[in-house]
Amino acid sequence: MVEARMSRRGSSWGLGAGALVVGTHTTSVGPGQGVWRRLGGIVDLRSVAKWGLAEIEMRGGVALSAVSVTGRALPATSGTTLFDPGVLIGLRARLRLGRIFPWVEATAVGWPGTHTLFVSGTDSVAELPPFELLVGLGATLMLNP
């Protein structure tokens, strides 16, 4: 994820926006597999609490993504790309070290739409997970500390 946060100087509240890429995942569907990945953006509201050099940032918002699904290891495969909005909540802990803020984050994303994968001519079905946990490490560069 690549993101930006905007807020008034001295305010603990801000708006965030970013680009989201979720790598390839697979699930078994009968004799083959369903393969999917996500690409999209996020918009969220964020609040920061500060304790000395440590900060905790809480966030909640929406993810606007496209999920691409294809079949693999089947006699005939097909695929599709669908608009798949979701909701997210997250928590980020970071240290203020000058203009660089190293951080660790956990974000839960719920995908309320149901996406069923199937193999034509069989009873084989699988569903994409309605929930994902994204865990990340990174660093923030503050332009105006």
pLDDT at 111: 94
pLDDT at 117: 86
Closest Cα partner for 79 from 129, 113, 118? 118
Check whether 135 has a pLDDT greater than 80.
yes
Residue 135 lies in a domain: yes
How much is the pTM? 0.82
- Alpha-carbon gap, residue 56 to 34, rounded angstroms: 37
Residue 3 lies in a domain: no
pLDDT at 17: 96
Chain mean pLDDT for the chain: 90
pLDDT in tens, 105-122: 999 999 998 888 888 778
pLDDT in tens, 43-96: 999 999 999 999 999 999 999 999 999 888 877 778 889 999 999 999 999 998
91 within 8 A of 58, measured Cβ to Cβ: yes
| 112: containing domain | 8-141
Check whether 145 has a pLDDT greater than 70.
no
pLDDT in tens, 6-29: 888 888 999 999 998 988 999 888
Residue 23 lies in a domain: yes
Domain count, the chain: 1
Per DSSP (E only), the strands in 1-145 are 2-6, 13-29, 32-51, 54-72, 79-95, 100-110, 116-118, 125-127, 131-141
**Residue 107 tokens, joined:** 């974000």
β-strands 100-110, 116-118 pairing:
unpaired
